[in-house]
Structure 1
Amino acid sequence: MKSTYIKLSLSAVILLGVYSCKKGEASASDLEAYSNTEPASKMVSDSVSSVATMKIKDKQFIKTADVNMEVKDVYNATISIEKSVQDLGGFVTHSNLRSNVVSENTYNTSDEDAMLIKKYQTENAMQVRVPTEKLGEFLTVINNDKLFLNSRSINAEDVTSGIRYAEMESQRNKKTAENISQLKTDKDKVKLGDNNMTEGNLQKLAGMDIADNLKYSTVDIYIKEPKLRIAEIAVTNTTRLDNKYKFNFIYDAKDGFVYGFYLIQKIIVSLINIWPLLLIAACVIYFVRKRKGAKPEQSKIPD
């Protein structure tokens, strides 16, 4: 009986040890899970720009992005974005910040003063260029300024085949130049050499553009404020001034007299200009009346 009790005690101790180990493992895993809850937001923010950070061996991508979002203050967000671009080694190529006035009214507050009330909404359309390897970081940074994200698109254009084709074209152009140099010098050779050089320059320019687009990614950003703002601007009460100088009897009467005098002069000058017409009209009237006076005398028949 005693040996049975000892065995049961040992079994209980072993089970307690196993349970405590399991509990310790569970606590450790829970702690690790809890510790990962804080970086979870970071993981989400990083996943937001996962397309921007995509890298594939033996592939070359030109990456562009388009972001449309609402922010609390457009001006402050613009300053923050421009600073972030500069800190990452990029630059701003376009920024058009403006306020769209929805309504504008003036309210008189005294005989001299008034208040101009403007309701407006501020927006900004920007284009920035950031180093391609920091595109994901930049998108994560500007994501912190948003109140609401309307849309965001990221494009990665595979230009690997285009780069290889450009290399082959460069070799062909070089080979063509060597063949032209072996020709006999004449006008055709000069023309061929000039055309080949022009083609080579265009290929170099295209290569420079591709290299620049590979190094720097273009990001178009449109930000606006979700609600209207109100601006109160103190101005002068112009209504009182308008009423004060709107009508002056003495001046208007004098001006009317002068205007009437000039009007008479204009009428007289106009009549002088059409004197031939007046003369012809007078002659016509005279002969018509004379003819009407002669007809009754001729119509009398003697008895």
Structure 2
Amino acid sequence: MDPYDLVARNTVEIVTEEELRNTLDQTVKRVYAGYEPSGEIHLGHLVTINKLIDMKEAGFSVVVLLADLHAFLNRKGTLEEVRELAEYNRACIEAVGLKGAEFVIGTDLQLDPEYQLQVLELSQQVTLNRAKRSMDEVGRAMENPTVSQMVYPIMQMVDIAALKVDAAVGGIDQRKIHMLAREYLGAINKRPPVCVHTPIINGLDGKKMSSSAGNVVSVADSEEEIRKKIRKAFCPPETGGNPIMEIFSHHIFPRLGSIQIKRPEKYGGDREFTSMQEFEAAYAAGEIHAMDAKNACADGLVEVLAPAYEFIMSTKRG
């Protein structure tokens, strides 16, 4: 696949497309995504992890920021708790398929005096209202924000500068923070990044994905748990807003390249699909039953997540 198409697939926005094309022409190019260590890696995280895998294949050096200090500021736990989770999340991210990336722990980067000075310099530029708006999608309890949550987006801007990356990957909920970076990094003589935004996919019930709601598939789920969750998932006749279709689009086709629909001859027999577009059209036309789609979805997820699950089980046995 063409490098640009590889980066652009399954995204909702690239800011800007021209800058991305120019960056792809560079001999050396770096991209990063940051993750707050706050629990198990699940399908929501895997959307951006898969995009980093795409960008690595397109020639980018990949940096993963395990943002323990960000998680602490965003009330995700004590520093000790989030640091411990950061190392565990790193191993899971590698096990699920992102090989050869550079992993950076937030506190190893963000407590440097030069970093902190840049945070203070940018804090003079950004208004409280702008900082709050940028955190509305990603912060906790933003109806009563703390000062720490106002520092969060400014630190994320400095992360981009300190990591010396050309591009930033994040869900579309990161857009306002990324736009702050594009607007204000020039104030500290740093180049703004290309921003690659992925969609926020639905939970298995078709509602907002949330670990607390139990509508996610985690890398810690066994094959039995995955199949049980997928059997119960919302899968309407329509493809739009259909969580099963989203899993195929973002997790199965990009990683496996094809799927098999296995069914008796009286129901049409087995069918193989080698593209999401072909499969989506068949499903929308009623050629594929929802339960057949769910069974293929479970098969694909089990295969994609197996290495991470095996790693988790090995650590428990150890």
Smaller-chain TM-score bracket: under 0.3
Structure 1 length normalisation: TM-score? Answer: 0.19
Structure 2 length normalisation: TM-score? Answer: 0.18
Greater fraction of residues in helix: 1
Greater fraction of residues in strand: 1
- Relative CO higher for 1 or 2, CA cutoff 8 Å, sep ≥ 6? 1
Give the structure with higher Rg (CA): 1
